[in-house]
Amino acid sequence: MSDTKLRNFHEAQWDESLIFEQSVPGSRSLLVPDVSEQVKGVTGKVETLLPKNLKRKEKPALPELAQPQVLRHYLRLSQETIGQDINIDIGLGTCTMKYSPKINEQFVRSPKFTEMHPYQDDDTAQGILKIIYDFEQIMKEISGLDAVSFQPGGGGQGIYSNAAVLKKYFEEKGEAEQRTQIITTILSHPLDSAAPATKGFEVISLFPNENGYPSLENLKAVVSEKTAGIFITNPEDTGVFNPIVREFVDVVHEAGGLAICDMADYNGLFGLVRAKELGADMCHFNLHKAFSSPHGCMGPGCGAQCVTEELEKYLPRPRVRFDGKRYYTDYDGPASVGKIRQFQGSLAAVMRAYAWVMSLGRDGLETVAETAILNNNYMMKRVLNEVKGISMSWAEEAPNRLEQVRYSFEKLLKDTGVGAEDVNRHLLDFGFQRFFPSHHPLIVPEPYTPEPTESYSKADIDEYVSALKKISDEAYSTPEVVLGAPYNGPISKLECDHITDVSELAVTWRAYKKQNGLA
C-alpha cells in the first residue's frame, strides 16, 4: 500500500507569558456602572450586609486586562495546543477520543439548561428531571442492570462508588470484617485497584497468562471466604477480551463475593455485550468516553453507575423518581452510601450522552461498535505489516482485537536506540497528538496504545500510519533525527525531571511570585 502524503505541519509559537504578567493596572474588560440612588435607598450600604469575616483587607490579586488582550491570550494558547477537534486523535488509547457533536454543545449551553439551579423546586425543573430519568432507563437497557446513578464525576468516582456500595452491602450482611479482599487483574484500569483500596480493602492483582488474560486456576487460588468481590475491566487496555469472564464471575459468586465490571472500554461492545450477561452485580460507564461527551481536560466527566435491584438502595442520593404524573428528587435513602459529589453530578455530560444515544438509536450504537472494531483491526494489520520495529502483545494467542491494541516499540529501541517516548515526540512534528503509552505497571515494554474510534475514516488512519512508518524508517536510517524531535512545535524537547520536583511546583500566581522572589 502506498504511503499517504503527509501534511507540511508547523504549530504556532507565541512564547506567551502568564496572563498575570500581562496585567496593566487600571485596565478593565468591563466597566460596571455605579449603583443607582434608587437601589442604594433600598439596600443601604452594601458593605454593612457582608459578615465581617468575609470582608477583604486587600484587593484580590487578579490580572487587569482589556477584552482584546484576554481574547488574544487564550487564542494564542489554543493555537499552541493540539486538541481533539484539530487533529486525528487516534493515539490516546483507553480514552476513546471520538467526535463530540457540536449540536449537543448547543443543548448544554442553552440558557434553558445553564440558568437552572440545583436547589430550585422540582415543579420548575421537570424537563431536566425527565432527561435524567429517561436516560437512566436507557442505561438500564444498555447495561442490563436495574438501577442507575449519574452522580459520580468520572470513571474513578464510578469505581469508588461501586466499592462504597460493596462495603455497605457487606456491612448490612454482618460480613464486613470477614470480606476484606478485592481481586482484580493487573491490566484492568489502575483505579480498579486504587478505589477499593481507598475504601479499606486489600487488593490482589492477577497477572496475564500466555493468552493475554489471567487463568481460571490463578483466580481460584486466591478466592476465599475473605473475598468481597472482583473488579475487572473487559476488554482490558490491551484490547484482548477475556472470553471466560463469566466463569471468573461464577467463581467469585460461589465464594459469596460480588462482581463489578469496569465498562470504560465499552466502545467496541455496544449492542454486543451487556454487563448483565457477564454476570455483573455492578458496573460503570464513562459518558465522557464511549458516549461522546468530551473529556474537557479531565473535568466534566460522568461515571454512570449501574447496579442490580438488590443493591439499588445503596446508590448515592439524590435519585430522580416518577410517580406517573411528575418527576421529583428523592433524597430519602437510609441505606445509601451518601453523596459521591454534589447534587446530581455533571448533568452537562448526561445531556450530551443522552442526545448522542437518542440520535443513534439501538442499531446506530451497534454500528459504532462494529466500526470501532473494524477501524482498529485495519490499523493493526497496517501497523504490523508496514511499521518496522513494532510488535503486538500476545500477537499469536490473540491475533484479533476489539477497539484498541497495546503495541511495543521494544525492537525499535534495541535496533536503533529510538524508544516509544522518542516516537511520541516526533509524532508532534506531523500534527498529531502525543499517544498514550500504558497505564502502570508497564507489563508491555516500550508501550504504545492507540484507539481509532468510529469517528475516524480510512484516510485518517492511513495518514496516521504513514507518519508512524516514516518515523520508523527515520529511526533505522537517521536515528538522531527522531531523537532530536520535536522540531515543529512551540516547545522543543524537555528534560522533565525538574517538572515533577515538588519544590519547584507553583500552581498559583501567589506561589509563583513567592518562589521567584516577586512577592
Lowest model confidence (mean pLDDT) among 30-34, 326-330, 451-455? 30-34
The model's confidence at residue 179, banded by pLDDT at 50, 70 and 90, is very high
Give whichever of 38-47, 49-58, 233-242, 471-480 has the largest mean pLDDT.
471-480
How big is the CA angle at 166 (ends 165 and 171), to the nearest 5 degrees?
95
Q: Is the pLDDT of residue 296 over 70?
A: no
Per-residue pLDDT band for 2 (boundaries 50, 70, 90) equals low
Q: Which of 27-41, 311-325, 354-368, 412-426 has the lowest mean pLDDT?
A: 27-41
Which percentage of the chain shows pLDDT scores above 70? 97
Q: What is the mean pLDDT of residues 433-453?
A: 93
Rounded Cα distance between 519 and 513, Å, is 5
Average pLDDT rounded to a whole number, residues 74-78: 93
Q: Looking at residue 497, what is its pLDDT?
A: 67
Q: What is the pLDDT of residue 326?
A: 97
pLDDT surpassing 90 at residue 501? no
Band (47; pLDDT cuts 50, 70, 90): confident
Question: What pLDDT does 507 receive?
Answer: 83
* Residue 454 pLDDT class (50, 70, 90 cuts): very high
CA distance 107 to 348: 9
DSSP secondary structure string, 202-232?
EEEEEPP-TTSS--HHHHHHH--TTEEEEEE
Cβ–Cβ under 8 Å, residues 256 and 226 = no
pLDDT at 496 over 70: no
Distance CA 429, CA 485 (A): 8
* pLDDT at site 448: 97
Residue 233's DSSP bridge partners are 262
Tell whether the model's pLDDT for residue 503 goes beyond 80. Answer: no
The proportion of the chain whose per-residue pLDDT surpasses 90, expressed as a percent, equals 77
Say yes or no to pLDDT of 379 above 80: yes
pLDDT band at 469 (very low <50, low <70, confident <90, very high): very high
Confidence of residue 1 (pLDDT cuts 50, 70, 90): low
Q: What is the pLDDT of residue 35?
A: 87
pTM of the model: 0.90
Quote the pLDDT of residue 77: 92
Q: Give yes or no for residue 3 having a pLDDT over 80.
A: no
Residue-level pLDDT at 363: 97
pLDDT at res. 297: 57
Q: For each of the domains in the chain, give its residue range(s) and CATH number, in order of start.
A: 106-358 (3.40.640.10)
- 514: pLDDT confidence band, cut at 50, 70 and 90? confident
Q: Is the pLDDT of residue 299 over 70?
A: no
d(CA 144, CA 280): 9
pLDDT in tens, 213-267: 999 999 999 999 999 999 999 999 898 999 999 999 999 999 999 999 999 999 9
In this prediction, residues 416-439 reach a mean pLDDT of 95
250 CB-contact burial (10 Å; exposed 0-12 / middle 13-18 / buried 19+): middle
Residue 478 makes CB contacts below 8 A (sequence gap 6+) with none
Report pLDDT digits (tens) over 78-134: 998 888 888 899 999 999 999 999 999 999 999 999 999 999 999 999 999 999 999
The residue-averaged pLDDT of 365-390 equals: 98
- 192 pLDDT higher than 90: yes
pLDDT band at 480 (very low <50, low <70, confident <90, very high): very high
User: Taking residues 12-22, what's their average pLDDT?
Assistant: 92
Q: What is the pLDDT of residue 329?
A: 95
Least trusted range by pLDDT, from 3-7, 111-115, 143-147, 275-279: 3-7
Q: What is the pLDDT of residue 81?
A: 85
pLDDT for position 519:
73
Cell 479499606 belongs to residue: 200
Closest Cα to residue 407, out of 369, 435, 370?
A: 435
pLDDT at 298 over 70: no
Answer for the pair 455, 403: CB distance below 8 angstroms, yes or no: no
3-state secondary structure of 322: strand
